[in-house]
Amino acid sequence: MSETDAPLLAVEGLTTHYVSARGTRVTRAVEDVSFTLGDGETLGIVGESGSGKTTLALSLLRLLPPAARTIAGAIRFEGENLLTKSEAELRHIRGKRMAMILQDPMASLNPLFTIGDQVGEPLRVHEGVSRRGAWERARELLGAVRISAPDARVRNYPHELSGGMRQRIVGAIAISCGPRLLIADEPTTSLDVTIQAQYLSLLRELQRAQGLALIFITHNLGIVARMCDKVAVMYGGRIVESGPVRRIFGAPAHPYTRALIESIPKLGDSNGRLTAIDGQPPDPAALPGGCAFHPRCPARLERCAVDRPHDTAVGDEHRTACWLHG
């Protein structure tokens, strides 16, 4: 696609705030976030509820609710800054080169249209394919997402299908125009475990077949370990640690990442108790000063409450924001 070696997606210093109606309360949902993603790579974004994962995803697509403002940074997608694009220009990018899968497959499909119509919709919008042609392509796409009897399914309505099938169909819609980047916001949360596993391997397969870059937003570290090449751990709106998945799981640098990994329940653990992180996730409207994690951090230093740690390299492509490494 690009003539240089520029990555598919480069996010630099992205900052998105929610501002209350009178402008008095500012919630720093995403603060100074930077990362890059190359063709065909998978980035996992993990963090607790309220850490800014979803706001980050919506910022990338410029789909923020009215109260939210992206006030700084740049999103370079295929070399172009999305933050300076008009709504009309964005429409040509969304769906065609960038697609999204949401959490709830029940709510992601319009109950009034057949599967064929909905899978074909992006094709009709972007490529001007006729209704008949779109149905034809929809059949192929349903086959690509492993739905049996696609000829019959295109004629079904969403309520006639199971949750797992619907989520596959949402996947089929997402890949219908052959996007370069797919953002998946907790796509498996509402599926049961066996279906989850199937769906994840399907996503993997589609990714390989289409050379798709994937941003996978989740709070499930197990899925990250299985799916992703790179991980970014978010806390209080910032990326506190990022790096290749092996490094993050093998040698976590940030105390928060370490605590997250330790709190994964393990089979056959003789201890029998779950390790939890002390305290509550911070209120994003009132983040603690210094390092946002310091009130809960087992390894905090005195300066952690005062100065915010800088992003430092601790290994090959492995960065963290923590004074232990500063």
Partner 1 sequence: MNASRAAVLAFPGRLASFRREGWPMVPITILAVLALLAIFADVIAPHDPQVGLLGERFRPPAWQQGGSTAHLLGTDHVGRDVLSRLIFGARVSMVVGFTAVIFAGVVGTVLGILAGYLGGWVDQVIMRVTDAWLALPALTFAIFLAAIVGPSEMNIVIILGLVYWTRYARVVRGEVLSLKERDYVRLAIVAGCSKRTIMRRHILPNVVNSAIVLATLMLGVVIVTEAALSFLGVGVPPPKPAWGLMLADGKKGLMAGYWWLTVLPGVCIMLMVLSANLIGDWLRVKLDPQLRQL
Q: How far is the CB of 285 from partner 1 (least distance, A)?
A: 22
Nearer to partner 1, 51 or 118 (CB): 118
Q: Pick from 160, 228, 230, 231: which is nearest to 200 by CA? A: 228
| Minimal distance, residue 175 CB to partner 1, in Å | 11
Q: Give me the least distance between CB of 299 and partner 1, in Å please.
A: 40
Comparing CB distances to partner 1, the nearer of 104 and 229 is 104
For partner 1, give the closer residue by CB, 87 or 316.
Answer: 87
- Total residues found in the chain within this entry: 326
Q: C-alpha angle with apex 163: 154 to 198, nearest 5 degrees? A: 95
CB of 21 to partner 1, least distance (A): 13
CB of 18 to partner 1, least distance (A): 17
Measured from the CB atom, is 32 or 104 closer to partner 1?
Answer: 104
Using alpha carbons only, how large is the chain's radius of gyration in Å?
21
- Burial class of residue 292 in the structure, from the number of CB atoms within 10 Å of its CB (0-12 exposed, 13-18 middle, 19+ buried): buried
77 φ/ψ angles, rounded to the nearest 5 degrees? -115, 120
Q: Which is nearer to partner 1, 181 or 248 (CB)?
A: 181
For the bound state, the minimum distance from the C-beta of residue 245 to partner 1, rounded and expressed in Å, comes to: 27
Residue 201's SS3 state is helix
321 is written with which tokens? 């924001």
Q: Which CB, 188 or 242, lies closer to partner 1?
A: 188
Nearer to partner 1, 53 or 94 (CB): 94
Kind of pairing between the strands at 213-218 and 42-46: parallel
Minimum CB separation of residue 191 from partner 1 in Å reads 15
CB-count exposure of residue 23 (10 Å: 0-12, 13-18, 19+): exposed
In the complex, which residues of this chain contact partner 1 (CB under 8 A)? 61, 63, 66, 90-96, 98-100, 102-104, 107-113, 118, 121-122, 125-126, 157, 159, 170, 173
Query: In the chain, where do the E strands start and end?
Result: 9-19, 26-37, 42-46, 68-77, 80-81, 98-101, 181-185, 213-218, 230-235, 238-244, 311-315, 318-321
